[in-house]
């Protein structure tokens, strides 16, 4: 859909992999060609020493840029490109088909699968990112999950201007525009599109299309506190 192109969500002028996107195609079209794009590269190069305790599967299809730190317990599966000066923390799992720009953070017990992280994106604590695109400087709070599969396994649709748009994908998580900030323990449902510089408060269940510069709030959790006298026996 021409209105939902990459330029609605990202600034691509400085992105070295911008050929993944076409001007008149949907922003998620990059996910449709991501694996083929990665495998079509003529050369892969790991520019750091792999520390003890890090597992790299299919290293012939893995690139890692200078200055990137890999902590013990990291598992990386090719094809995968990780840019310069990234930090991949203990227990992270890059599960194949992953493209990370420069200065990205993939945190402890975070799983990234078939996704794109543009420069400065951070999934730093206990996150799942499946079949999704995180724009420049996106930050996922602890426990954020980007779900990528409907429970009924049907094709994922997106909603925009009261229209239902079929994506052609059975696995598609979310698109988070540049600078989005997502609070702790948010669940982002399949096919969610969030415009740049939007903020989501914690503990929400997000879906649909959220325009740029939005602030997404939920009702405060209501609870009661009762105090009881301590019984002396």
Percent of the chain with pLDDT over 70: 93
Summarised one tens digit per residue, pLDDT across range 75-131 is: 999 999 999 999 999 999 999 999 999 999 999 999 999 999 999 999 999 999 999
DSSP string, the chain: -GGG-GGGT---TT-TTGGGS-TTS-TTHHHHHHHHHHHT-S---B-SPPPTT-EEESGGGEEE-TT-EE-TT-EEESSEEE-TT-EE-TT-EE-SSEEE-TT-EEEET-EEES-EE-TT-EEEES-EEES-EE-TT-EEPTT-EE--B-TT-PPEEEEETTEEEEEEESB--EEE-TT-EE-TT-EE-TTEEE-TT-EE-SS-EE-SEE-TT-EE--PPPP------PPPP-
Contact 223, 209 (CB under 8 A): no
Task: Evaluate if residue 207 carries a pLDDT over 60.
Answer: yes
- Average pLDDT (57-61) is 96
- Average pLDDT (146-156) is 97
Contact 78, 60 (CB under 8 A): yes
Percent of the chain with pLDDT over 90: 85
pLDDT band of residue 231 (cuts 50, 70, 90) is low
Summarised one tens digit per residue, pLDDT across range 17-55 is: 999 998 889 999 999 999 999 999 878 999 999 999 999
Torsion over CA of 12, 202, 156 and 158, rounded to 10 degrees? -60
- Its pTM stands at 0.93
pLDDT band of residue 194 (cuts 50, 70, 90) is very high
Q: What is the mean pLDDT of the chain?
A: 93
Higher-pLDDT residue of 162, 211? 211
- Average pLDDT (156-175) is 94
- Segment (H or E) for 169: strand 163-169
- The phi and psi torsions of 170 (rounded to 5 degrees) equal -95, -15
Q: How many CB atoms lie within 10 A of CB 182?
A: 27
Task: Evaluate if residue 220 carries a pLDDT over 60.
Answer: no
Query: Which of 156, 123, 148, 153 lies closest to 138, judged by CA?
Result: 123
The predicted pLDDT at position 102 comes to 98
CA 205 to each of CA 4, 51, 154, 194, 230: distance values in angstroms, whole numbers, following the listed order: 22, 38, 20, 13, 39
- Segment (H or E) for 175: strand 174-176
Q: Which fold has domain 2-216?
A: UDP N-Acetylglucosamine Acyltransferase; domain 1 (2.160.10)
- Average pLDDT (183-201) is 97
Q: How many CB atoms lie within 10 A of CB 19?
A: 11
The domain spans of the chain are: 2-216
């Amino acid at each position: 859909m021409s209105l939902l192109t990459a330029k609605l969500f990202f600034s691509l002028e400085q992105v070295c992999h911008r050929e993944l996107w076409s001007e008149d195609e949907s922003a998620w079209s990059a996910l449709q060609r991501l694996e083929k794009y990665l495998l079509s590269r003529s050369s892969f190069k790991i520019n750091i020493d792999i520390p003890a305790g890090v597992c790299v599967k299919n290293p012939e299809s893995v690139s890692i840029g200078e200055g990137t730190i890999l902590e013990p317990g990291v598992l990386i599966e090719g094809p995968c490109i990780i840019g310069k000066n990234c930090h991949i923390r203990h227990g992270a799992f890059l599960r194949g088909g992953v493209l990370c720009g420069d200065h990205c953070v993939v945190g402890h017990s975070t799983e990234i699968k078939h996704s794109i992280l543009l420069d400065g994106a951070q999934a730093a604590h206990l996150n799942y990112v499946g079949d999704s695109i995180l724009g420049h400087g996106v930050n996922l709070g602890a426990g954020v999950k980007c779900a990528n599969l409907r429970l009924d396994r049907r094709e994922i649709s997106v909603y925009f201007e009261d229209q239902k748009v079929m994506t052609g994908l059975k696995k598609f998580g979310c698109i988070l525009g540049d600078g989005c900030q997502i609070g702790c323990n948010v669940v982002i449902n399949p096919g969610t599109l969030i415009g740049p510089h939007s903020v989501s408060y914690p503990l929400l269940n997000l879906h649909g299309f959220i325009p740029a510069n939005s602030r997404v709030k939920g009702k405060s959790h209501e609870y009661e506190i009762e105090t009881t006298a301590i019984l002396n026996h």
